[in-house]
Structure 1
Amino acid sequence: MRGDSGAGGDLRFTDEKDASRYTLHRGDALVSVLDYNDDGRSVAMTRAFTIPTYRGHGCAGELVERAVAHLEAAGDREVIPVCWYVAEWFDQHPERAGILRARTA
């Protein structure tokens, strides 16, 4: 990813709304998937998965980064980090917490 020669900068981000998932592709190859549920007010990010061949190069982190940026740009959804990886990503990026749905007791 950014500055990582292992993943490269030739990754394409897509929001496959019909499949409720964000994806990263390198060429025609699927690299990483982030499944979600969108209820019109919030997006529950439920599972991040990277194809084993591409693991260890920051692909899942890049995918979460791009998905969060996509949602921030739209400005009409909050994120619920159901997936442990997404929750840890937000822990490592507290500056992005403004998009998180506030927790209720």
Structure 2
Amino acid sequence: MENKHQLIDNAEAKQFQFNLENGIAKIEYIKAKEKIYLTHTEVPQAYEGKGIGSELIRQTLEHIKEQGWTLIPLCPFVAMYIKRHPEWKELVLKGINIG
């Protein structure tokens, strides 16, 4: 799938983000060893409903897979995305039920 935006791992702010024309779309995270907790997703209001959040999650999951990290999705939006795209469940920590 084509990436319309550049994923940035802003380690200082502890978030993956897209720098958009009018703001930043972001997924906040906590990293602990080989685990990553995605805690909150936010898209500027002007971009809501345009697929930016889904693209941000997809690119973030691709990055997590490349790094070999284990995912703990605490953000409901991320969990819902994984439920709709079960191919990503392999990244989720065993024992966490996405549905």
Runs (4 or more) in structure 1 with deviation over 2 Å come to none
- Aligned AA for 1:85? F
Q: Which runs of 5+ in 2 are unaligned?
A: none
Q: RMSD of the alignment, in Å?
A: 1.9
Say whether residues 1:99 and 2:94 are aligned partners: no
Output aligned runs, 1:58-73, within 5 Å: 58-73=51-66
Q: Which runs of 5+ in 1 are unaligned?
A: 3-7
Which of 1, 7, 30 does residue 13 from structure 1 map onto?
Answer: 7
Q: Which residue of 2 aligns with 1:40?
A: 33
| CA-CA distance at 1:74 after TM superposition | 1.4
Partner SS for 1:85: helix
Q: Which has the larger radius of gyration?
A: 1
- Identical residues among aligned pairs (%): 21
| CA-CA distance at 1:31 after TM superposition | 3.5
Contact 1:24 1:32 in 2 (8 A): yes
Partner SS for 2:55: helix
TM-score by length of 1: 0.83
Partner SS for 1:61: helix
TM-score by length of 2: 0.87
Say whether residues 1:23 and 2:12 are aligned partners: no
Give CA-to-partner distance per residue, 1:15-38, whole Å, 9 cap, x none: 0011110001235x4341100000
What number of residue pairs does the alignment pair up? 96
Distance 2:33 2:18 in 1: 23
| CA-CA distance at 1:70 after TM superposition | 0.5
| CA-CA distance at 1:13 after TM superposition | 1.2
